[in-house]
Structure 1
Amino acid sequence: MRDSFCGGGWAAVVEPPRASLLTGRYQTRSGIFPGVFYPGSIGGLPLNETTIAEVLKPLGYATAAVGKWHLGYGANGKFLPTKQGFDQYLGIPYSHDQGPCHNLTCFPPDVKCFGVCDVGVVTVPLVHNDKIKQQPVNFLDLEKAYSNFATNFIITSVKKNQPFFLYYPSHHTHYPQYAGTRAAGHSLRGPFGDALFEFDSTIGNLITTLEKMGVANNTLVFFTADNGPELMRMSRGGNSGPLRCGKGTTYDGGMREPAIAFWPGVIEAGVTHEMASTLDIFPTIASLAGAKLPPVILDGFDMSDLLFHKGKSKREAMMFYPTDPNKKYGLFAVRLGKYKAHFYTRGATHSSTTPDQDCSEFAVLKAHDPPLIFDLEADPSEHYPLLLDERPDIQAVLVQIKKVKAEFEATMVFGESQISKGQNPALEPCCNPECYPKPTCCHC
């Protein structure tokens, strides 16, 4: 059977889950910490890390990435997707708020973007493969360009009778939201809803293309997200529902995401509450395609039994690092089955503005000994820690959690921090590299 795969976007901020999804390894192994990459960042996802695209290429797969890369740009685009196993790329190489946006149009006819975004750097570029196609990007036409690129990639691959892997990390619904004429004003949720509506339309185009090309029954489509909502943006930042806090924290509101797997005739409709992670996408796709795994420690598990046979997940535990992991503190939290233990808690700027003071940036680092333990099935909001003195059974759970934590940390070798390599303004993408004065002259 010919297999093709479409991918979506776990962690408190952007880069860790992207690196983990593509490599099946915790971000600490590949050095994707602390924080995020910027336009002039020197580092990026190390080229010796193996991505999904790189294990599929030897099997004859066509590979493409479209949308938000955010795993480094580097000198001469050395960290772009085309250097990481992808044949083609169209997108913004980092977050679309990492450039001045106060004069840019985000909604028709000429509604300026909400906020100012990052200032003092180049405007956000649209990159095709390794060349800058447009700077600043036109947000009103961006999603149409993504949709056309992705659907053409599918059509071309099918016509060549070539299996394909399409990775689409969307900018929606990150701040500042944007939408073109076909989506603006079409939702009841304001700018956030319009942005989501536009993204949904693109996914509809991709599904329709798979159906028209007769490969829907041969294609696994998988959706997920990278981190929880940016609550500091209030209604423009999303909503974590009953989950506690949001982006930047190791509470479930910052880390826990839903997922949808779609494969007509192969995956039976239904809902599972089994635990899985974006770390598991790499080994699952490799297993389905018969690809050879790299000779490194992988932190993911093959989800095939869970997806196709309604079986149990092979994942028993989940580890939680903060946005700035280090060897001194190690894991902030560990989930084992339905129980989650917090060894450290801390708020985050990204989760400010909520009534819960433990979410705020002013909620400083707290060590918990014994750790706070929550039953996530009975208390998904992590409001009521279990009392060890009254629960001998939970004492036994804690012993097991500490064992799992120690065994995991014994295998963890921190990679060189790529983000700590710093920034060089000369590395910021500029469509007219010889122009002056920078960054304002980078316009095409």
Structure 2
Amino acid sequence: MACFFLLGSWMRPTKSAKPNVVLFFMDDLGYGDLSCTGAMGYQTPNLDRMAAEGSRFTNFLVAQAVCSASRAALLTGCYPNRIGLTGALGPNSPIGLNANEETLAELLKEQGYATGLFGKWHLGDQAQFLPTRHGFDEYFGVPYSHDMWPLHPDQARANYPSLFLMEGEQRTREVKDLNDAAELTTAFTERALGFIRKHRKEPFFLYIPHPLPHVPLAASARFRGKSGRGLFGDVLMEIDWSVGQVLNELKKQGLDKNTLVLFMGDNGPWLNYGDHAGSAGGLREGKGTSFEGGHRVPCLVRWPGVVPAGRVSNKLLTALDVLPTVARICGARLPKQRIDGVDWLALLKGDESVTPRDHFYYYYRRNSLEAVRKGDWKLVFAHPGRTYEGYLPGQNGKPGPNTENRPFPTALYDLQRDPGERYDVREQHPERVAELEKLAEQARADLGDDLQQRPGTNNRPPGRVASR
């Protein structure tokens, strides 16, 4: 009996004193794209289980409604324009994430964490910008969006090169067509599962930024045609499967109760792709806009015994806040340079009396302050912007039209009563306008504002490829 007990103890994985962290970051996932947030035509049972066993944050914003900028903010805790990154970086970009910026992976690595990234990077594809130069021990994925390839609908103008999967800093296999793209979710999931098994006896940080449901959509044979929402629903079902596989592996390895799992999107849906796009869940506009449909995304957090189960919180939170919160949980220091994120651990644990964040700056384009928010009040400034409204969306993977430079007027919205941002109430609340204008002035002095041709005083440069 004693020998059996000793053998059983030896076979069980050693539970790390430090919690593990798994971070899912979806591409172009809309606020209404999970069945627990109102999606129709398909189910996301594993994500619904995450919400039931953890907490759902309904007022969670990304830093900018576009790929590279949003990812830069997540990993550094900084407004992306503070660190010189805006928009979506293309192949062979001469800029990327500066080596002087410290990522969450680097901070956790100092604490003895194994770090792995399986999915989309999009913070520069030159060697000096790759994940392995920014704190990740292992990297397998695509260096930028998987529509930046020769099959792009506007390839004649864009002239994109071939897209390759990368292992570390080496190209491995070309992603040639949609059949290859259909293998991505499974490939990244399998690598993530292997990473968990490999590092089960030490603390780890696992970052899974799936390239989908960004177009072009592609689902593996096991999910193709399985939903009532066409290919988009099939893709969401496969992403849900991926999350379920990771949750099940954590439990299988005895790591379930010692792992913080976060799931969120990088920006809202690309609405002019119609049946190949997600839903903003009734919020205004989508990707590439400073309205709520561009910035507000699903956010689920699960950590049994620490994060309350079945709780829904409406407190304002952002992707900027992930780094300082996770750093505190894992005993890591904060970056040496200034960041913009705030620690929301107390709220995460269930203390709804705290308000970690009360304001947010909506920047877009190069460095344009398009809106500010304090609490439930949002002041949108006059600016040229993208709109999808008034145009028939595309079908079957082809985009419909949209307007990139529609003149939006100044407007004040009460998001508590009007989350769809339809009713300008400036005349009724001039005191709120004055309060938000004052907040905007603080942002302009700090970060600048291209709309007013004002430089910021605390911006830092991106990394640049040395001139040859």
Q: Equivalent residue for 1:152?
A: 194
Cα separation, 1, equivalents of 2:286 and 2:326:
29
TM-score by length of 2: 0.79
Match of 2:459 in 1: 414
Deviation of residue 39 (structure 1)?
1.1
- Alpha carbons 1:246, 1:252 under 8 Å: kept: yes
Q: Select the residue among 21, 30, 47 that pairs with 2:83.
A: 30
Question: Counterparts of 1:353 and 1:364 in 2: how far apart (Å)?
Answer: 13
**Count of residue correspondences:** 392
Contact 1:40–1:423 under 8 Å retained in 2: no
Q: What residue in structure 2 maps to residue 78 of structure 1?
A: 128
- Read off the aligned partner of 2:196 and give its amino acid letter: I
Q: Distance in 2 between matches of 1:321 and 1:204?
A: 35
User: C-alpha distance in 1, partners of 2:119/2:286?
Assistant: 23
Separation of aligned partners in 1, 2:346 and 2:382: 34
- Residue 70 of structure 2 is matched in structure 1 by 17
Contact 1:55 1:286 in 2 (8 A): yes
Q: Distance in 2 between matches of 1:165 and 1:60?
A: 10
Match of 2:416 in 1: 377
Structure 1 runs not aligned, ≥5 long: 103-114, 427-444
TM-superposed CA distance for 1:29, in Å, is 1.2
Q: Could you tell me which residue of structure 1 aligns to residue 150 of structure 2?
A: 100
1:18-417 equivalences under 5 Å are 18-33=71-86, 35-74=87-126, 77-101=127-151, 115=153, 120-136=159-175, 138-158=180-200, 161-269=201-309, 270-311=311-352, 312-325=354-367, 330-348=368-386, 353=391, 360-361=402-403, 363-366=405-408, 368=410, 372-388=411-427, 391=428, 394-412=429-447, 413-416=458-461
Inter-partner Cα distance in structure 1 for 2:128 and 2:147: 22
Whole-Å separation in 1 of the counterparts to 2:466 and 2:232: 31
Cα 1:251/1:422, change in 2 over 3 Å: farther
| Aligned counterpart, 1:438 | none
Kindly state the Cα deviation for residue 295 of structure 1 after the two structures are TM-superposed: 1.9
Q: Does the 8 A contact of 1:346 with 1:363 survive in 2? A: yes
Residues 63 and 164, structure 1, Cα contact 8 Å, conserved in 2 = yes
What is residue 440 of structure 1 aligned with on the other side? none
Matches of 2:391 and 2:129 in 1, distance apart? 35
Measure the CA separation in 2 of the matches of 1:349 and 1:134: 37
Note the C-alpha offset of 1:183.
Answer: 1.2
Q: Secondary structure at the match of 1:321?
A: strand
**Which stretches of structure 1, 4 residues or more, deviate above 4 A after TM superposition?**
115-119, 349-352, 421-424
CA distance in 2 between partners of 1:350 and 1:294 (Å):
38
Distance change (3 Å), C-alpha of 1:352 and 1:166: farther
Match of 2:22, SS? Answer: strand
Identity of aligned residues (%): 36
TM-aligned CA distance change 1:71 to 1:80, over 3 Å: same
In structure 2, C-alpha distance between the alignment counterparts of 1:352 and 1:80, rounded to whole Å = 40
* DSSP-derived class of the 1:332 partner: strand
Distance in 1, matches of 2:383 and 2:346, equals: 34
Q: What is the rounded CA distance, in whole Å, between the counterparts of 2:390 and 2:195 in structure 1? A: 41
Give the residue type in structure 2 aligned to 1:406.
E
Partners of 1:350 and 1:125 in 2: CA distance: 31
Residue 344 of structure 1 and its aligned partner are, at CA, apart by 2.6
Summarize the alignment of residues 415-430 of structure 1 with structure 2, pairs less than 5 Å apart: 415-416=460-461
Alignment partners' CA distance in 2, 1:27 and 1:98: 21
Checking the alignment, whether the CA contact within 8 Å between 2:96 and 2:462 is kept in structure 1 is no
Does the Cα contact within 8 Å between 1:332 and 1:344 map onto a contact in 2?
yes
CA contact (8 A) 1:231 1:352 kept: no
Decide whether the 8 Å contact of 2:285 with 2:387 is kept in 1. Answer: no
2:66 touches 2:267 (CA, 8 Å); kept in 1?
A: yes
Letter in 2 for 1:341: L
Q: Contact 2:76–2:104 (CA<8 Å) still a contact in 1?
A: yes
Write the distance in 2 (CA, Å) between the matches of 1:352 and 1:367: 17
Please state how far the C-alpha of 1:196 moved relative to its aligned partner. 1.2
CA displacement 1:138-163 (0-9 Å, x = unmatched): 223222221111001011111xx210
CA RMSD, Structure 1 to Structure 2 (Å): 2.3
Q: 1:166 to 1:386 in 2, by over 3 A?
A: same
Instruction: Report the alpha carbon displacement of residue 352 of structure 1 after superposing the two structures with TM.
Output: 7.5
Structure 1 range deviating more: 63-72 or 180-189: 180-189
Structure 1 residue aligned with 2:23: 7
Letter in 2 for 1:331: L
1:247·1:351 contact (CA, 8 Å) conserved in 2? no
> What residue identity is the alignment partner of 2:342?
F
Say if 2:81 and 2:366, in contact at 8 Å, map to a contact too. Answer: no
| C-alpha contact (below 8 Å) 2:387/2:406 kept by paired residues | no
Instruction: Output the amino acid matched with 2:294.
Output: G
Deviation at 1:407, TM superposition (A): 2.3
Q: By percentage of residues, which structure has more strand?
A: 2
Secondary structure of 1:224 counterpart: strand
Distance 1:268 1:195 in 2: 29
Aligned-pair CA distance for 1:2: 2.3
